[in-house]
Amino acid sequence: MTQPDPTPDGRQALLAFLTTHDGDAGCGPTREVLDLYAEEILAGLDPAVRFPGVAIHLRDCHPCADDLAGLLALA
């Protein structure tokens, strides 16, 4: 049985990861305020209001979103 070629999906995932959007804060700045972002979520606030670039970044960057999930899981 022939396995399907995973390359197209891999390319799409890589392109999505490498593509930035207007206002994207990037990984470094996101990591700098991720604890504050998590605290706002836990307080029932919308952190996207205070950190819009971080919100955009977390939507597209799975490693940073995983870091946020880890912080929230520890709370």
Please name the residues in contact with 40: beta carbons below 8 A apart, sequence gap of 6 or more: 46, 47, 50, 51
| Residue numbers of the domain that contains 65 | 23-74
- The answer to whether residue 10 is domain-embedded is no
Model pLDDT, residue 64: 97
Question: Which tops the pLDDT comparison, 55 or 11?
Answer: 55
- The answer to whether residue 70 is domain-embedded is yes
Q: What is the mean pLDDT of residues 52-65?
A: 95
Tell me the whole-structure pTM to 2 decimals: 0.75
How does pLDDT run across 5-49, given as a tens digit for each residue? 555 677 776 766 666 678 999 999 999 999 999 999 999 999 999
Half-sphere exposure of 3 (CA within 13 A, CB side): 3
| For residue 68, pLDDT beyond 70 | yes
- The answer to whether residue 30 is domain-embedded is yes
